[in-house]
C-alpha cells in the first residue's frame, strides 16, 4: 500500500488526461494529495477522471478544462485553478506536444514553442503568488533528454526560417531546462522549489499531432518504450520527495544529473526569460 505522504497537499497536473500526466495524477492521488487534472477538453478529461477514480477509489481529484495553445486560454485556466485551489503546493507542467509541420497559434507563435514553453512559462507566473503563499511548494517542469540536441536561436525562435520537427521539439525542451534554472534563481529565499525532469521515452500520445514517419516511428517503437507509469515515476518523485531546499536541478530516473552545457548558460537563460516575459505580456 502506498503511504499517504502527500496528504493535505494540493497538486495541479497539466495534460493529466493521458499518458504520463494521467499516471502522475494517479500516483499523487494514491499518496493522499488532492489533485486537479487539467485537460484540454471534457471529451478527453471526463473519461480520464473516471479512470483515475477507478484506479484510486479514495482519490480526491477534480477536472479543470484548460488549453496552453493561446495566452487567453492560459489566463482563463489560471483563473479557474486559482478559484478551485485556495492553496496550491505542486504544479506539474506536464502538457506538451510534437509537431511535424510548422503551424502557428492564434497569437501568431509557432505551436511547439507556444505550447511547450510559453504556455507553462505564463501559467507558472500566473500561479506563482498562490504557490508562494501556500508554503513549501514545488514546480515540476517536464523536459527531455532531447534538450541536449537543442539550441536557442534568438534570431529564429519561431522557426520561421527553418522548421525541423526534431530540432524544434528539442529546442523547446532546452527552453524548459533554462526556464527551470532561471526560475530557481527568481525563487531564491522562498519556500518554492522547481526542478526539470526527463521521463524517458514513453508510450504516450505525444505524437498525436504528428504525421508521416514520426507517427510511424512512435507506433513501431511503442513495444520498447517505458510505460506511462514508469515514465511518471520521476515526476512523482520530484513532486513528493523531501528534497530539502536545493533548487533548479535536472532529474532523470529519479536522480539529479547534469543537463547539457547549453542549459547551464545563465546569459541565455536570462535573455530567454526576458523575451518570454515580453511575448506573454508579463513585462
1 pLDDT higher than 80: no
What tens digit of pLDDT does each residue of 236-251 get? 999 999 888 789 999 9
Residues in the chain, total? 283
Separation between Cα atoms, residue 31 and residue 164, nearest integer Å = 40
At residue 49, the pLDDT reads 97
Which pLDDT band holds residue 209 (cuts at 50, 70, 90)? very low
Separation between Cα atoms, residue 273 and residue 258, nearest integer Å = 21
User: Under CATH, which number does the domain 10-279 receive?
Assistant: 3.40.50.720
Q: Taking the complete model, does pTM exceed 0.95, yes or no?
A: no
What tens digit of pLDDT does each residue of 25-50 get? 999 999 999 999 999 999 999 999 99
Which pLDDT band holds residue 262 (cuts at 50, 70, 90)? very high
At residue 220, the pLDDT reads 46
Separation between Cα atoms, residue 37 and residue 66, nearest integer Å = 10
Q: What is the mean pLDDT of the chain?
A: 92
- The residues annotated as belonging to the active site are 169
Pick 125 or 215 by higher pLDDT: 125
Beta strands in 117-266 (DSSP E): 137-142, 192-198, 250-252, 255-256
Task: Give the Cβ contact number of residue 260 at 10 Å.
Answer: 19
Separation between Cα atoms, residue 24 and residue 162, nearest integer Å = 35
Separation between Cα atoms, residue 33 and residue 41, nearest integer Å = 23
148 pLDDT higher than 50: yes
Q: Say if CB 95 and CB 21 are below 8 A apart.
A: yes
Amino acid at each position: 500500500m502506498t503511504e499517504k505522504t502527500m496528504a493535505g497537499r494540493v497538486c495541479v497536473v497539466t495534460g493529466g488526461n493521458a499518458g504520463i500526466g494521467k499516471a502522475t495524477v494517479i500516483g499523487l492521488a494514491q499518496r493522499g494529495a488532492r489533485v486537479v487534472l487539467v485537460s484540454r477538453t471534457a471529451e478527453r478529461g471526463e473519461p480520464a477522471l473516471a479512470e483515475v477514480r477507478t484506479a484510486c477509489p479514495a482519490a480526491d481529484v477534480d477536472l479543470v478544462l484548460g488549453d496552453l495553445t493561446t495566452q487567453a486560454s492560459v489566463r482563463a485556466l489560471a483563473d479557474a485553478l486559482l478559484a478551485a485551489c485556495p492553496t496550491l503546493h505542486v504544479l506539474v507542467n506536464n502538457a506538451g506536444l510534437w509537431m511535424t509541420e510548422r503551424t502557428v497559434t492564434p497569437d501568431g507563435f509557432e505551436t511547439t514553442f507556444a505550447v511547450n514553453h510559453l504556455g507553462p512559462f505564463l501559467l507558472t507566473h500566473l500561479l506563482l503568488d498562490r504557490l508562494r503563499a501556500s508554503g513549501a511548494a514545488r514546480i515540476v517542469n517536464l523536459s527531455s533528454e532531447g534538450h541536449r540536441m537543442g539550441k536557442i536561436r534568438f534570431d529564429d525562435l519561431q522557426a520561421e526560417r527553418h522548421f525541423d520537427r526534431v530540432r524544434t521539439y528539442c529546442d523547446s525542451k532546452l527552453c524548459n531546462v533554462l526556464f527551470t534554472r532561471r526560475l530557481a534563481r527568481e525563487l531564491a529565499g522562498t519556500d518554492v522549489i522547481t526542478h526539470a525532469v526527463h521521463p524517458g521515452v514513453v508510450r504516450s500520445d505525444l505524437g498525436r499531432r504528428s504525421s508521416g514517419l514520426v507517427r510511424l516511428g512512435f507506433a513501431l517503437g511503442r513495444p520498447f518504450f517505458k510505460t506511462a507509469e514508469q515514465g511518471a515515476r520521476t515526476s512523482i518523485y520530484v513532486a513528493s520527495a523531501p528534497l530539502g531546499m536545493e533548487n533548479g536541478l535536472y532529474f532523470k530516473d529519479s536522480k539529479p544529473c547534469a543537463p547539457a552545457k547549453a542549459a547551464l548558460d545563465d546569459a541565455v537563460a536570462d535573455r530567454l526569460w526576458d523575451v518570454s516575459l515580453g511575448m506573454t505580456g508579463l513585462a
